[in-house]
Amino acid sequence: MRIAEKVKETGVIYIGGGVPKDFIQLFAVSADLLYSSKRVEGRKKKPIHCNVTDENYYPHKYAVQITTDSPQWGGLSGCSFEEAISWGKEIKGGHYIQCFCDATIALPIIAHALCERLDFKRKPSLFRREEGFWKINV
């Protein structure tokens, strides 16, 4: 949650499903439980408020899911992006993509593409590029 206090919007990459997927989805709807003000203090963007339940949500704006499961067979932990939107875990009108592929194939391709794109926008302060590889600044 501390990271969420410093950002305007969040995005997630789901690899498979299960408990790890549910944990990161619950982050979007947990401000009411974790903060007495029902708001993530320091968050640059205001929450979405639901008048019916009187709850605040910080839904994820971006999501990538890499999975070999299909919703019709009960996979995806029972949660498609459409269902996550209905629960306030993902924002309506956000940017989402599902990749039905083995993670050992898809994740390296996605990670490489993201690293190439980030070079043009900004360099993360925790990493540096050296001889074609990303290294952690110590």
Q: Which residues are catalytic?
A: 89
Written as six digits, the tokens of 30 are: 């947990």
For the chain, percent helix, then strand, then coil, each to nearest 5?
Answer: 35, 30, 40
Task: Give Dmax over CA atoms of the chain in angstroms.
Answer: 55
What are the angstrom distances between the C-alpha of 62 and each of 3, 36, 51? 16, 27, 24
